[in-house]
A and B are shown apart, each in its own frame.
Chain A
Amino acid sequence: MTVLNENTETQTSAGQPRQPRPVRRPKKPLGTRAYKVFRVAALIAVVLFLVAPLFWMLLASLKTNVDIYDTAKSFIFSPTFENYANVLQRNNYFVFIFNSFWVAFVSTALSLVLGVPAAYAMSRFTMHRSALVVLMARVIPGVSLLVPWYYVFSNLKMVGGFEVLILSHMFVALPLIVYIMMSYFDSLPLELEESAQVDGLTPIGAFQRITLPLSVAGMATAGILSFIFSWNNFMFALVLSGSKTKTLPVAIFDFVSYASIDWGGLMAAATVVTIPIMIIALFTQKYIVSGMTAGATKG
């Protein structure tokens, strides 16, 4: 197969006139045969390294605790959904799933409302100092904010409510959204808005009718990443959530505060947290990648 491919590639590049190609196409057939073999082996190793631990977690969640302790039954065992039934029913995980979802959803929505116009203004008017203030939130260790927050919010009798959790998660989401949207607006040409203004729209009208619709992809990127970060957040919820507003990461952590660990249940609980976010990630790959790399390659 590979030999065939090589031949056709050299033939086309020699026999036919040059055609414009996508940026990432190599101009010459790639490397030696040895390199090709090495590359395939290396890629398989990388994929295994990244996926195998998650697979192991999934396997353990389908085993009884007796099977988990039996190293002879690492891969061959009779799967059971008992752990999931236990976790979801007895430990009220449906409530925690709802809590996580609600906090992530509301904090993302509110952060988009606050962050998108701010990012727009900071990008168009190059307010770099103001942007720095917002971005500082990414640098500060969260613990340094928790003590004052805890003091204020417990005096207001708000600790344990959804409002505090949502506020604290917005603190993670907002800088992220401003950062991603700023680099997105930077890449949108100014001419579009200017011509809309010449045609009679006010500046804010041009923002609403031209820029916002054009930046839906950017907002999707920012929103998805912010949702993921909020879903995964642990420290803020650990301090600020109450028994009724506990989010999934905190609920899993509670699993191990006992003397002996129910490994099967713990792995089922861990799988329950990760599955929804992974499904979202699979369907929105493109956005996550563009969000993670936003602004990274600019000089």
Chain B
Amino acid sequence: MTPPRSAARNAGRAPGAREKFSDWANRHRKWLFAAPAMAFVGVLIIFPLAWTLYLSLTDSQGSVRAATEFIGLENYLTVLSDVERFWPAVGRTLTFTGIALVCEVALGMGIALLLWRPFRGEKWVRVAILLPLVATPVAVGMMWRLIFDPNIGFANQLLAAVGIPAQPWLSGQDTALGTTIFMDVWQWTPMVVLILLAGLTSLSEEPDEAARMDGANAFQRFFFITLPLMMPTVIVAILLRGIDALKTFDILYATKGKGGGSFHEVETLNVYAYGLSFDYNQYGLSSAVLILFFIIIIGSMWLLTMRKKAVSK
């Protein structure tokens, strides 16, 4: 559409080489603009992904430079039949993500509703919401380590004040995963709040008004009017948060260290794969784990996107 115009404009001038280049650039600006970024991502992602896929079919281990042999699907068979580490890690990943998401969306919706209408001191609440979001996850992990310390932590002091016996929190085999979920909820509920609040403020008031006229109470209006209208935004929030929750690494590694603690109590797929690669140098096996992990992520995203399309209609 544009080349004729610029060609006409340049017709009167001396056809210098610069002119020609800028004409060419304007005509091809679509790819000229997009290609560098795509090339960067392509080289840094697609090529490593292909490599990971290849490594998952070899017996690579020890050193990344060591000679490897092609062993087909053997790594996948090893991983899929591993009920000691792999399947529990899958379970923990799904438990962590599932519980964290449910808590974050429920709490996030509650807080977003509280913030929906204007009020005095709004500014301070907004600041409070921003703080966990920008706090460095490793520092956050360290902070919770102190708070949840069984002997000197504030959490047990608080429990003692209301007469509940001390809990082991992070150091307990059964309580560690729950405690890390709590940390994730603390850090990321604000993000869900921000997304849902943006959705709420963009809703039109008419349906709510009409229901109010018809005498619906606050709960009825929320469950039958606001919530259905908010469903697409809720699913976007789940999608955005879910991807990151599945990949959680910083807080788990910062609080429990290698292997997700001595009994692997918080070892999710990401922590497991990291450990296989950089603590045990089992590159073939870890690559197989990663490919399976990737399939799980893509699969759950796909399911959610389908759900969103269904809801939007």
A-side contacts of B237, CB under 8 Å:
296
Q: Of A145, A255, A293, which contacts B49 at CB under 8 A?
A: A145
> Contact size class for B?
35 or more
In the assembled complex, the CB of A267 is this many whole angstroms from the nearest CB of chain B, namely 6
Q: State whether A120 touches B240 (Cβ < 8 A).
A: no
B-side contacts of A170, CB under 8 Å: 40, 44
B240 in contact with A296 (CB, 8 Å): yes
The A-contacting residues of B in range 80-133, CB under 8 angstroms, are 110-111, 114-119, 121, 124-133
7 nearest A-B residue pairs (beta carbon): A118-B37, A121-B33, A270-B139, A148-B48, A117-B33, A293-B198, A148-B51
State the majority secondary structure of interface residues on B: helix
A46 and B114 contact, CB distance less than 8 A? yes
Tell me, rounded to whole Å, the shortest Cβ–Cβ distance linking A253 to chain B: 6
- CB pair A234–B128 under 8 Å, yes or no, is no
Bound Cα distance A281, B126 (Å): 11
Chain B residues closer than 8 Å to A85, beta-carbon distance: none
Known: A145-B44, A151-B51, A249-B250. 10 other contacts (CB 8 A): A47-B125, A118-B37, A144-B52, A144-B290, A144-B294, A232-B134, A273-B139, A274-B139, A292-B195, A297-B198
Interface residues of A in 198-244 (CB under 8 A from B): 200, 202-204, 207, 228, 231-232, 234-235, 239
Q: A114-B40, A141-B294, A143-B274 are in contact. Are A274 and B34 (CB under 8 A)?
A: no
Q: Do residues B147 and A145 form an inter-chain contact, with CB atoms below 8 A?
A: no
Question: Shortest Cβ distance from A20 into chain B, in angstroms?
Answer: 13
A24 with B118, Cβ < 8 A, contacts A232-B136, A289-B194 known: yes
**Residue B64 lies at the interface, judged by CB distance under 8 Å to chain A:** yes
Smallest CB–CB gap between B171 and chain A, Å? 13
A60 and B146 within 8 A (CB): yes
Residue in B9, B191, B247, B286 whose CB lies within 8 Å of A142: B247
Asked whether A187 is an interface residue with its Cβ less than 8 Å from the other chain, the reply is no
Distance in angstroms between the alpha carbons of A46 and B121 in the assembled complex: 13
Total contacts A-B at CB 8 Å: 295
A–B complex contacts, Cβ < 8 Å, 5 sampled: A27-B209, A39-B119, A235-B249, A273-B138, A281-B133
Query: Known contacts A253-B254, A299-B232; is A274 also within 8 Å of B191 by CB?
Result: no
Contact A277 B287, beta carbon cutoff 8 Å: no
- What residue of chain B has the Cβ atom nearest to residue A31's Cβ? B218
Query: A24-B116, A141-B247 in contact; A204/B143 too (CB < 8 A)?
Result: no
Q: B216 near A: Cβ within 8 Å?
A: no
**Closest A residue, CB atoms, query B281:** A147
Interface size classification for chain A: 35 or more
Query: Is A121 touching B52 in the complex (CB atoms < 8 A)?
Result: no
CB neighbours (8 Å) of B220 from chain A are: none
Q: How far is the CA of A202 from the CA of B55 in the complex (A)?
A: 48
Contact B250 A234 (CB under 8 A): yes
Produce 1/0 per residue, B142-155, CB < 8 A to A.
Answer: 11111100011010
Q: Are B41 and A137 in contact (CB under 8 A)?
A: yes
CA distance A122 to B65 in the complex (A): 39
Does any Cβ of A come within 8 Å of B79's Cβ?
no
Is B297 close to A, CB under 8 A? yes
- A285/B126 in contact, CB under 8 A: yes
- In angstroms, how far is the closest chain B Cβ from the Cβ of A170? 7
Cβ A299 vs Cβ B126 within 8 A: no
Contact A121 B34 (CB under 8 A): yes
A100 to chain B, nearest CB (A): 9
Contact of A197 among B5, B135, B137, B283 (CB under 8 A): B5
Chain A contacts of B297 at CB under 8 A?
139, 141
A94 at the interface (CB under 8 A from B): no
Most B C-beta atoms less than 10 A away, residue of A115, A145, A175: A145
Q: Are A171's CB and B44's CB within 8 A? A: yes
Does A155 lie within 8 Å of B65, measured CB to CB? yes
Distance in angstroms between the alpha carbons of A203 and B129 in the assembled complex: 42
Q: Which residue of B lies closest to A117 (CB)?
A: B33
Q: Which of B45, B127, B293 has a CB less than 8 Å from the CB of A145?
A: B45
- Tell me whether A50 is interfacial, beta carbon within 8 Å: yes
Question: Once the chains are docked, how many angstroms separate the CA of A256 from the CA of B253?
Answer: 12
**Given contacts A145-B44, A231-B136, A249-B138, A53 and B144 within 8 Å (CB-CB):** yes
A178 within 8 A of B: yes
Which B residue's beta carbon lies closest to that of A271? B139
* Nearest opposing residue in chain B for A264, CB measure: B146
Collect the chain A residues with CB atoms within 8 Å of residue B118's CB.
24-25
Residues on A with C-beta less than 8 A from B312 are: 299
Is there an interface contact between B143 and A57, defined as CB atoms closer than 8 Å?
Answer: yes
Stretch in B23-31, B70-78, B173-181 touching the partner: B23-31
Q: Is A266 an interface residue when CB atoms closer than 8 A count as contact?
A: yes
